[in-house]
Chain A
Amino acid sequence: MSPAPEDASVHRALGLSDDEYQRIYELLDRHPNHLELAMYSVMWSEHCSYKSSKIHLKRLPTEAPWVLVGPGENAGVIDVGDDIAVAIRIESHNHPSAIEPYQGAATGVGGILRDIFTMGARPIAVMDPLRFGPIDDPRSRWIAEGVISGVSGYGNSVGVPTVGGEIVFDETYKGNPLVNVLAMGVLPTERLVLGQASGVGNLAVLLGASTGRDGIGGVSVLASAGFDESAEDTDKRPSVQVGDPFEEKRLLEACLELLDEGLVSGIQDLGGAGITCATSETASRGGAGMDVDVTAIHARENNMEPFELMTSESQERMLAIIKPEDLAQVEAISSRWEIKASVIGRVTGTGQLRILDGFDGDVLANLPASTLHDDAPEYNRPITPPSDLAERRAKDASQGPVSCVDDLLSLLRDPAWIYSQYDHQLFLNTVVGPGNDGTLLRLRNPRNGEETGRGIALSTDGNHRWCHIDPRQGTAMVVAEAVMNIACVGARPLAVVNCLNFGNPEHPEVMWQLSEAVDGMAEACIAFDAPVIGGNVSLYNETNAVDIAPTPVVGVIGMHPSLSTPPPSIGFPPDASLLLLGQVPDTHVSLAGSQWAWEIGECKDGTLPIFDLEQAVRTSQFVAEAVQKQRLLAVHDIGEGGLAVAAAEMAIDGGVGAQIIDHDDHLSMFNESGGRFLAVVGEKLVDTFLRDANDHGVPATQIGRTGGTSLNFGSEITIPVSELEFAYQNKLPEALGLGTVSA
């Protein structure tokens, strides 16, 4: 039993519980001072420690022979052959984007890129799954426009193409947008570096932007007199971080050059918890200690307090561990790229992280480096399924005012207005870019730019509607959807990264959603043989105590083994056969969780359609191979909006209509049963193709023919392709931009 702290209001104001304070007391065997408390408070925050989710994340599969680096490092890394490795990571920047959309999104892009080049990889692709409140809500539109401009402004300027993403508008995100960002990079396998400090006497060099008071919101209470939140001087303590893509670009090039020259033994980006996190993480990973001189940190403002310098989240900074004899060369490269470099630390053998006022000055903080990470609390928070679960699942989601033509038109939405603002072609890799099912990039050798003849496929997916109804099956369907997307460009999955966006973990229902989602993800990842190699958990996504619908977002990376011609587009060619793959006849079909039910039927409950995971594995594998063998004239997976929206998108893309047999009621047009594709094959090949599908255990039926200028379902429903196209193209520009596409 330890004595109580002198003033319990300090640690409470920093967000540490009394139990957590006791834990710190035991680890140090004394009372921590304010600087030490600040360091524990940022490192033991939910954001840095994953203290509520860690216990569940352990259930995810994380290993495969091709996985070089799994979860826990800055990014996951897989081996893709020819001594080439690919680093990938996804992260959320939800809360900053709700406050300042442009900078929130911009710094989200900047942060994820640093995670990638920290591993020694050159970032070559960004994807941005975005979710906002209703499109008719002015504030949500303002947030959406700011976020899109932020991704565009930062990503284009820093010089990494944004090759795909998602855009979703829904009531659940009003007040709490989800801004997730995925980045991917390539590296020669031998250049792989980990964020660790080793070698007593080695130097820790802080590279890049000056440290200001950005993002110290949580610990800024230490600066105010009475730990009373209202006394906080908000003018002096900005919590909005501002991004500088030009600084990031120079930092990126300088770091890659340092790595190329072999001058760096460990490198770590500065993200959440700033220098505290970077110094303690590198030291504890390397089994070492570190002395940090706060006076050596290049600061943007005068008179910054040590706790401000140690916890600032100023952007565009990296920490490199180097040998003392290499310092001159490191400084020369930094100066060529016009970035600042300051020696702020020395690696020690003590295991202690010491914060010093000058290397020979007073000891301001002294704590075992590993305690900031390894000893962070881990909570098994209460889990309770919603009490009205049975009642909700009993609801019929097919009720509502039905007008199949109008409903279809209202569900169409062309994301081109968004992705045309992103450079999606830089580096000459983009074979299939945004606006399609999956993204497909040429894989080139990072050593010399030579083509490998293979392609890397990427897709990000999430679906809050499915996950709201059934977080377990919904998440499995989300993983399947992402795999199906890359199957459309001929790729099989290699790995998954996830971004778990949930509400308040102190609500037992939210923890139930999280736990169920993790189980659904684990099941699907095992079935697809694609381990989870990294992720991010974003909790406390709530507005006025109302939690967002559970929104696990996944990024799937896959490989196209022989990329010599582009895969088929989604567009209908004229006069060919339209096949439906993956639909089991006569099974339970439901509109529950569909876009139709939420947006038109206004029912958010019910029971999801039965989902056969094993069949989804077989079907997506079959489609990927058919694409590789160039057997398909067009292919599109069936996702949001169901078969009707998929067919409409194919008609719009090809400028060609189709006659579809049956499927002329809202249930068959708009249900979102998982694991299905629409594929187009030449008339003469239909019989062989159907037989092959059958041999592979993939249900396949011919449901129509392409051709003509209108899309027809059964004998009653006819919509001119031009009308589909008009509805599709103008929805977002009308809502978000000024005027329409044609203006």
Chain B
Amino acid sequence: MHFEVKVEVSPREGIANPEGSTIERALPALGFVTAGNVRVGKVIRLQVEADSSDDAKSLVEDMCSRFLSNPVIEDSLVEVLEE
């Protein structure tokens, strides 16, 4: 079966996130004074072939730990969207 999978890669808690901080510094200048804790990561979408939704998920989680994210600085969240 084909599964559409979404991976959200985000900076780990406690790791500085220069992109997020830069956006955070820029927001007040545009009048958005109530925003904070901006974190920038990335979203990866891919299709995989697997027997079940759970298999698809664990397959992509394996990809994350070895390749799609760097565990030193990033966390990843895998979500199977549809068959």
In the complex, is A directly touching B at CB under 8 Å?
Answer: yes
Interfacial residues, chain A to chain B (CB-CB below 8 A): 738
Complex Cα distance, B25 from A738, in Å, reads: 8
Chain A residue contacts of B26, Cβ below 8 A: 738
Contacts of A738 in B (CB 8 A): 22, 25-26
Per the bound structure, the CA–CA distance linking A738 and B22 in Å amounts to 8
Chain B contact residues: helix, strand, loop or mixed: helix
Q: Which residue of A lies closest to B22 (CB)?
A: A738
Give per-residue flags for B24-37: 1 if the beta carbon is below 8 A from chain A beta carbons, else 0: 01100000000000
Residue of B nearest to A738 (CB): B25
Residues of the A chain whose Cβ atoms lie less than 8 Å from the Cβ of B22: 738
Cα-based distance from A738 to B21 in the complex (angstroms): 11
Q: In the complex, A290 Cα to B25 Cα: how many Å?
A: 58
A-B pairs, 3 with minimum CB distance: A738-B25, A738-B26, A738-B22
CA distance A40 to B37 in the complex (A): 55
- Can you sample 3 A-B contacts with CB below 8 Å? A738-B22, A738-B25, A738-B26
Determine the main DSSP class of A at the interface with B.
Answer: loop
CB-based nearest A residue for B25: A738
In the complex, what residues of A have CB within 8 A of residue B25's CB? 738
Q: For A739, give the chain B residue with the smallest CB separation.
A: B25
Taken residue by residue from 5 to 26, chain B's Cβ proximity to chain A (1 for < 8 Å, 0 otherwise) reads as: 0000000000000000010011
- Name the residue of chain A whose CB is nearest to the CB of B29: A738
CB distance from A394 to the nearest CB of B (A): 45
Shortest distance between the CB of B82 and any CB in chain A (Å): 23
Say how far B35's CB is from chain A's closest CB, in angstroms.
16
Complex CA gap A738/B27 in Å reads 11
- How far does the alpha carbon of A738 sit from the alpha carbon of B26 in the complex, in Å? 8
- The docked-state distance in angstroms from the alpha carbon of A516 to that of B25 is 49
Q: How far is the CB of B57 from chain A (nearest CB, A)?
A: 30
Query: Smallest distance from the beta carbon of B24 to chain A beta carbons, Å?
Result: 11
Return A656 CB to nearest CB of chain B, in Å. 36
Complex CA gap A738/B30 in Å reads 13
* CB of B37, distance to nearest CB on chain A (Å): 18
In the assembled complex, the CB of B36 is this many whole angstroms from the nearest CB of chain A, namely: 16
Shortest C-beta distance, B45 to chain A (Å), equals: 18
* CA of A738 to CA of B28, assembled, Å: 12
Distance of A131 Cα from B26 Cα, bound (Å): 25
Rounded to whole Å, the gap between the CB of A738 and the closest CB of chain B is 6
Chain B: minimal CB distance from A615 (Å): 50
CB distance from A139 to the nearest CB of B (A): 14
User: How far, in whole Å, are A738 and B23 apart by their CA atoms in the complex?
Assistant: 10
The closest CB in chain A to the CB of B26 belongs to: A738
Q: Shortest Cβ distance from A440 into chain B, in angstroms?
A: 35
Rounded to whole angstroms, the CA-CA distance of A464 and B24 in the bound complex is 38
Shortest distance from the beta carbon of A44 to any chain B beta carbon, whole Å: 43
A422 to B38, CA, bound (A): 28
Measured CA separation A738–B29 after assembly (Å): 10
CB distance from A159 to the nearest CB of B (A): 24
Q: State A379–B25 Cα separation when bound (angstroms).
A: 53
Q: Taking the nearest CB of chain B, how far is it from the CB of A136, in angstroms?
A: 14
B80 to chain A, nearest CB (A): 27
CB distance from A411 to the nearest CB of B (A): 27
How far apart sit A73 and B26, CA to CA, in the bound complex (Å)? 46
How far, in Å, is A153 (CB) from chain B's closest CB?
14
CA distance A174 to B58 in the complex (A): 53
In the assembled complex, how far is the CB of residue A335 from the closest CB belonging to chain B, in whole angstroms? 23
**Bound complex: CA of A466 vs CA of B22, how far in Å?**
40
The distance from the CB of B38 to the nearest CB of chain A, in whole angstroms, is 14
B32–chain A nearest beta-carbon distance, Å: 15
Q: Which of B46-63 contact A (CB under 8 A)?
A: none
In the bound assembly, the distance between CA atoms of A134 and B13 in angstroms comes to 41
